[in-house]
Amino acid sequence: MAQAFGQMTQVTDQTRRPQLRLGVASYSFHKFDRAHVIDFMKQLNTPYLNAKDVNDHLPMTPPEATSVAVSAYRASNIQLTSAGVIYFTSKDPEDIDQKFQYVTRAGLSLIVGSPTREVLPLMEKYVQQYDIRLAIHNHGPEDKEWPSPLDVLKVIQSMDRRIGLCVDVGHTARTGLDPADAIRRCGSRVFDVHMKDLADMAIKESQVAVGDGKMPVRGIFEALHAMNYTGFVDLEYEIHEDDPLPGMIRSFAYMRGVLAGMGYQD
């Protein structure tokens, strides 16, 4: 929901629950450096950032660079909500541990990740050891590992409850599923949502500003509301990479309008 930038949401007796907090996936700004990300976040009037190790947004190495980035965001009243997407393609314990240490250095408790099916079973002990949740991101029909959230859910149902999903609604739609229904079916295992819109729900390249396509945005918000979701809905804007801000501003305006129509108040 819209709120004055820099003010963190405080839960009071008067606060409506659940809170659908609108944030940004920093990959939306992958051509821009951290200083631009901070400026863009102010213009979008949201403090919530899912930060990725791209450009200098949230560097994994050297270790001290992670802390420098965290300090810069904190000084600008930006709240890092998760790190990722982080890919786990190696069964090497050192590789997995290095990535969990990175997230720990950043002071975060959620990884938006994409492990291979071969690596995923090994990650359960790291989730437990570090007490860091893992939200597996689906990437649509081209993804041979996790096309849809339901493919993830089948595998993780018997695993530690700290292993869940980041539902990318655009990629989900391209598998032929209704994103709102997929969210309902995944329930409490949904830890994060990546929001985008498509003019053609089967075509990746048809992405448009949220509200200009066919994505059932209100239905998605209603599904999250019904399951008492308290996480974040992060806009992942993957078009107009040289000038993403205008489309992102339109997307936030539309999403905030939908939330206002549902009775949410600033």
Domains annotated on the chain, with CATH: 21-261 (3.20.20.150)
What pLDDT score was predicted for residue 47?
A: 98
Predicted confidence (pLDDT) at residue 194 exceeds the cutoff of 70: yes
What's the rounded mean pLDDT across residues 9-31? 72
What is the identity of the amino acid at 104? T
Higher-pLDDT residue of 264 and 56 is: 56
Q: Does the pLDDT of residue 217 top 70, yes or no?
A: yes
- Would you say residue 16 has pLDDT above 70? no
| pLDDT for 6 | 42
pLDDT of residue 82: 98
Report the pLDDT averaged over residues 236-251: 98
Burial of 48 (0-12, 13-18, 19+ CB in 10 A): buried
What is the model's pLDDT at position 264? 79
pLDDT of residue 265: 57
Mean pLDDT for 209-217 is 98
pTM: 0.92
